[in-house]
Amino acid sequence: MNTLEDFYYVLIFLVVAVVFTLVPIVMAYLLSPRSRGSKTNATYECGIEPFGGAWIRYSVSYYVYALIFIAFDVDILYLFPVALSYTKGGRIYEFYSLLVFVLILVLAIIYAWGKGVFTWKRKIP
């Protein structure tokens, strides 16, 4: 088989990907309602009229809270393959290593809780 013929599949895949990308964008442009007015570029906040500016300083604790959430979310994601391996009959060593991993996660949560990361401090304008 010619090497150029092998790339036909890649070309077809690329064309299909471009078509599937552009068709929804064009359809949304053609079918969407068009309105111009004073509220076209206004910020929409769940039906409530926005107040104050959007460029305010947030406390560092919000970012720490988000980073802890992402870290634990990724750690839990790694637990799924381990849980699936236990359906095939895992050894006791694997169970204890998983238990140590979860214990370290619990200790990290206790540490963050002690530092006050999970307390929600909201400033009302």
Cα within 13 Å of Cα(113), Cβ side: 6
pLDDT of residue 87: 65
- d(CA 85, CA 95) in angstroms, rounded, equals 11
Which residues, 6+ apart, have CB-to-CB distance to 59 below 8 Å? 121
pLDDT digits (tens, 9 = 90+) for 62-97: 777 788 888 888 888 888 777 777 766 667 777 788
Supply the DSSP string of 14-68, one letter for each residue.
HHHHHHHHHHHHHHHHHHS----STTTTS--BTTBPP-S-S--PPPHHHHHHHHH
Q: Which two structure tokens, joined as six digits, stand for 77?
A: 């994601």
Give Cα 42 to chain centroid, integer Å: 26
Which residues, 6+ apart, have CB-to-CB distance to 72 below 8 Å? 105, 108, 109
- d(CA 123, CA 125) in angstroms, rounded, equals 6
pLDDT digits (tens, 9 = 90+) for 9-66: 889 999 999 999 999 999 999 998 777 776 666 666 676 776 777 677 777 767 777 8
Residue 115 one-letter amino acid: K
